[in-house]
Amino acid sequence: MFIYTRPAYQFCQVVLQGYLDEQFYQLEELQDESSPNFVEEVVTLFFRDSSRLVANIDQALQKYPQDFRRLDNFMHQLKGSASSIGAAKMKNECTSFREFCNKENREGCLRSFQKVKKEHAVLKQKLENYFQ
Protein backbone atom coordinates (compact mmCIF):
# COMPACT_ATOMS: atom_id res chain seq x y z
CA MET A 1 0.00 0.00 0.00
CA PHE A 2 1.44 3.35 -0.99
CA ILE A 3 1.74 5.84 1.79
CA TYR A 4 3.54 8.58 -0.08
CA THR A 5 1.38 11.53 -0.95
CA ARG A 6 3.95 13.59 -2.76
CA PRO A 7 4.23 13.05 -6.51
CA ALA A 8 7.06 10.71 -7.41
CA TYR A 9 8.59 13.08 -9.95
CA GLN A 10 9.31 15.63 -7.23
CA PHE A 11 11.76 13.35 -5.50
CA CYS A 12 13.34 12.18 -8.72
CA GLN A 13 14.12 15.78 -9.58
CA VAL A 14 16.15 16.21 -6.44
CA VAL A 15 18.07 13.02 -7.12
CA LEU A 16 18.58 13.78 -10.79
CA GLN A 17 19.97 17.17 -9.99
CA GLY A 18 22.59 15.43 -7.87
CA TYR A 19 21.56 16.80 -4.52
CA LEU A 20 20.62 13.40 -3.19
CA ASP A 21 21.97 9.99 -4.05
CA GLU A 22 20.93 6.36 -3.65
CA GLN A 23 21.23 6.50 0.10
CA PHE A 24 18.03 8.56 0.12
CA TYR A 25 16.26 5.68 -1.64
CA GLN A 26 17.48 3.44 1.18
CA LEU A 27 15.72 5.70 3.66
CA GLU A 28 12.53 5.41 1.68
CA GLU A 29 12.93 1.65 1.64
CA LEU A 30 13.05 1.67 5.43
CA GLN A 31 9.76 3.52 5.74
CA ASP A 32 6.73 1.27 6.22
CA GLU A 33 3.54 0.87 8.23
CA SER A 34 5.47 0.38 11.45
CA SER A 35 7.53 3.51 10.83
CA PRO A 36 5.37 5.61 8.50
CA ASN A 37 7.20 8.92 8.98
CA PHE A 38 10.70 7.58 9.02
CA VAL A 39 12.08 9.67 6.17
CA GLU A 40 10.65 12.88 7.52
CA GLU A 41 11.96 12.09 11.01
CA VAL A 42 15.46 11.44 9.73
CA VAL A 43 15.48 14.56 7.59
CA THR A 44 14.25 16.65 10.52
CA LEU A 45 16.99 15.23 12.72
CA PHE A 46 19.51 15.90 10.01
CA PHE A 47 18.67 19.58 9.73
CA ARG A 48 18.64 20.03 13.46
CA ASP A 49 22.01 18.33 13.80
CA SER A 50 23.61 19.93 10.76
CA SER A 51 22.47 23.44 11.68
CA ARG A 52 24.16 23.01 15.03
CA LEU A 53 27.37 21.78 13.40
CA VAL A 54 27.35 24.59 10.82
CA ALA A 55 27.03 27.11 13.68
CA ASN A 56 29.89 25.40 15.54
CA ILE A 57 32.13 25.57 12.49
CA ASP A 58 31.22 29.22 11.88
CA GLN A 59 32.18 30.02 15.43
CA ALA A 60 35.34 27.94 15.32
CA LEU A 61 36.48 29.69 12.13
CA GLN A 62 36.13 33.00 13.95
CA LYS A 63 37.45 32.10 17.37
CA TYR A 64 39.98 29.34 16.69
CA PRO A 65 41.04 29.88 13.09
CA GLN A 66 44.24 27.88 13.41
CA ASP A 67 42.65 24.91 15.17
CA PHE A 68 42.31 22.73 12.09
CA ARG A 69 41.85 19.62 14.15
CA ARG A 70 38.74 21.08 15.77
CA LEU A 71 37.41 22.21 12.41
CA ASP A 72 38.09 18.83 10.86
CA ASN A 73 36.38 17.09 13.75
CA PHE A 74 33.19 19.12 13.30
CA MET A 75 33.29 18.65 9.56
CA HIS A 76 33.81 14.91 9.94
CA GLN A 77 30.55 14.80 11.89
CA LEU A 78 28.74 16.98 9.38
CA LYS A 79 29.98 14.91 6.49
CA GLY A 80 28.88 11.74 8.24
CA SER A 81 25.35 13.05 8.70
CA ALA A 82 25.17 14.26 5.12
CA SER A 83 26.32 10.88 3.92
CA SER A 84 23.71 9.09 6.04
CA ILE A 85 20.82 10.88 4.38
CA GLY A 86 22.34 10.77 0.91
CA ALA A 87 23.14 14.47 0.60
CA ALA A 88 25.68 13.98 -2.19
CA LYS A 89 26.59 17.55 -3.13
CA MET A 90 26.88 18.66 0.44
CA LYS A 91 29.03 15.62 1.26
CA ASN A 92 31.43 16.52 -1.55
CA GLU A 93 31.83 20.07 -0.28
CA CYS A 94 32.50 18.68 3.21
CA THR A 95 35.26 16.51 1.73
CA SER A 96 36.84 19.56 0.09
CA PHE A 97 36.76 21.42 3.37
CA ARG A 98 38.54 18.55 5.12
CA GLU A 99 41.20 18.53 2.43
CA PHE A 100 41.86 22.22 3.10
CA CYS A 101 42.01 21.46 6.83
CA ASN A 102 44.53 18.80 6.16
CA LYS A 103 46.71 21.30 4.34
CA GLU A 104 46.01 23.89 7.03
CA ASN A 105 44.76 26.26 4.36
CA ARG A 106 42.52 28.74 6.14
CA GLU A 107 41.47 30.63 3.02
CA GLY A 108 40.56 27.39 1.37
CA CYS A 109 38.53 26.39 4.43
CA LEU A 110 36.64 29.66 4.41
CA ARG A 111 35.79 29.42 0.71
CA SER A 112 34.86 25.79 0.99
CA PHE A 113 32.69 26.41 4.01
CA GLN A 114 30.65 28.95 2.06
CA LYS A 115 29.92 26.20 -0.44
CA VAL A 116 28.97 23.78 2.33
CA LYS A 117 26.52 26.30 3.73
CA LYS A 118 25.08 26.98 0.32
CA GLU A 119 24.50 23.29 -0.40
CA HIS A 120 22.97 22.90 3.04
CA ALA A 121 20.53 25.75 2.41
CA VAL A 122 19.56 24.53 -1.06
CA LEU A 123 19.00 21.01 0.21
CA LYS A 124 16.82 22.30 3.01
CA GLN A 125 14.65 24.16 0.54
CA LYS A 126 14.35 21.17 -1.78
CA LEU A 127 13.44 18.80 1.02
CA GLU A 128 10.91 21.23 2.46
CA ASN A 129 9.13 20.97 -0.89
CA TYR A 130 9.39 17.20 -0.72
CA PHE A 131 7.51 17.06 2.55
CA GLN A 132 4.72 19.41 1.65
Q: Quick count: other Cβ atoms within 10 Å of Cβ 94?
A: 28
Q: Is 32 in the site for other proteins (CB under 8 A)?
A: yes
CB of 107 to other proteins, least distance (A): 26
Q: Which is nearer to other proteins, 56 or 83 (CB)?
A: 83
CB of 44 to other proteins, least distance (A): 10
Chain positions 34 to 63 lying near other proteins, rule: CB under 8 A, are: 34-35, 38, 41-42, 45-46, 49
Dist. CA 66–CA 116, nearest whole Å: 19
- Region of 7-15, 61-69, 78-86, 120-128 interacting with other proteins (CB under 8 A): 78-86
What one-letter code names the amino acid at 65? P
Tell me the number of residues near other proteins by CB under 8 A. 23
Q: Which is nearer to other proteins, 48 or 63 (CB)?
A: 48
The binding site for other proteins (CB under 8 A) comprises: 23, 26-27, 29-30, 32, 34-35, 38, 41-42, 45-46, 49, 76-77, 79-81, 83-86
